Amino acid sequence: MAPTILFVPGFWEGPTVFDPVSTLLSADGFTTETAILPSTGTTSPGNPSMADDIAAVRAHLESIVQRGEEVILVLHSAGGFLGSAAMEGLSKPTIGKGGVVKIVFLSGAVFPEGFEHQPLPFAVVKGGAMYCVQPEVLLLDDVPEPEKAQWLAALKPQPAQGWDGTVPYAGWRDVPSVYLVCEGDKALPAGLQEQLAGLAGSQIERCSAGHLPQVSQPERVVEVIKAAAATV
């Protein structure tokens, strides 16, 4: 039985950003699920924090693992450190039956335990909310119209406070990983992605996409995920 694919989105985008990839994988017989970050779409003060996002991803992951299923985590952007932290104690090498067997990073933010987040250089804070600066360029530059306008309209704010804590756990130490380097990414340059992939010891794959390959090149993302599943 193929592993269940659990997607973890990054900031601003919400769960629907994985719909193009999920549709293709489902047509090939894969089971896919997408975690929700409770902080996305909220503003400070009183917003869900990074810890709440990690807890939500963990709860979703636990619900799959409790069914005895193996899981491939597909982590995009900030989902890289959120999903990695959420899998503490839930890898197959740790629990034996079921659990996380592999990670696929998509322009993933990979950080070690203890890393303290700093203000994002491509974000601006307004009225308790954090927005991406020029998302049409930094996030969606390679997405054609009218799809670009649709995805821009779907973006949500992140809260200005509470997301910048300390990384509590790095699950990429527990299982093998694949890192899809997006060479057209203007938010996380390809050279930085390669450094992050090296930190995780990831197998590197490449594409020409911008920061959202799951939107602009879903077929390539599916190809990488299927190859990862085939080697579990």
Return the CATH architecture of domain 4-230. 3-Layer(aba) Sandwich (3.40)
The residue with greater pLDDT, 209 or 164, is 209
**In the predicted model, is pLDDT for residue 176 greater than 90?**
yes
**Phi-psi region at 134: left, alpha or beta (left = phi > 0; alpha = psi -120 to 50):** left
Q: What is the pLDDT of residues 124-158, one digit of tens each?
A: 999 999 999 999 999 999 999 999 999 999 999 99
What is the C-alpha end-to-end distance of the chain, expressed in Å? Answer: 11
Percent of the chain at pLDDT above 70? Answer: 100
Query: Which of 160-164, 169-173, 181-185 is least confident?
Result: 160-164
Calculate the alpha carbon distances from 231 to 64, 107, 205, 220 in Å. Answer: 20, 21, 14, 17
> For residue 102, which of 75, 77, 76 has the smallest C-alpha distance?
75
- Residue that is written with structure tokens 């308790």 in the block: 128
Percent of the chain at pLDDT above 90? Answer: 96
Q: Are strands 32-34 and 4-8 parallel, antiparallel or unpaired?
A: parallel
* Torsion sign over Cα 125, 127, 129, 135: negative
Contact 81, 116 (CB under 8 A): no
Give the pLDDT score at 96: 87
Tokens of 37: 């970050």
Q: Which amino acid is at 107?
A: S
* pTM (two decimals): 0.97
Give the pLDDT score at 1: 80
d(C-alpha 83, C-alpha 72), whole Å: 11
Q: To the nearest whole number, what is the mean pLDDT of the chain?
A: 97
d(C-alpha 201, C-alpha 34), whole Å: 25
Give the pLDDT score at 27: 97
Cα angle: 7, vertex 199, 86; to 5 degrees? 35
Q: What is the pLDDT of residues 69-104, one digit of tens each?
A: 999 999 999 999 999 999 999 999 999 889 999 999
Q: Summarize the chain as % helix, strand, coil (round to 5).
A: 35, 20, 45
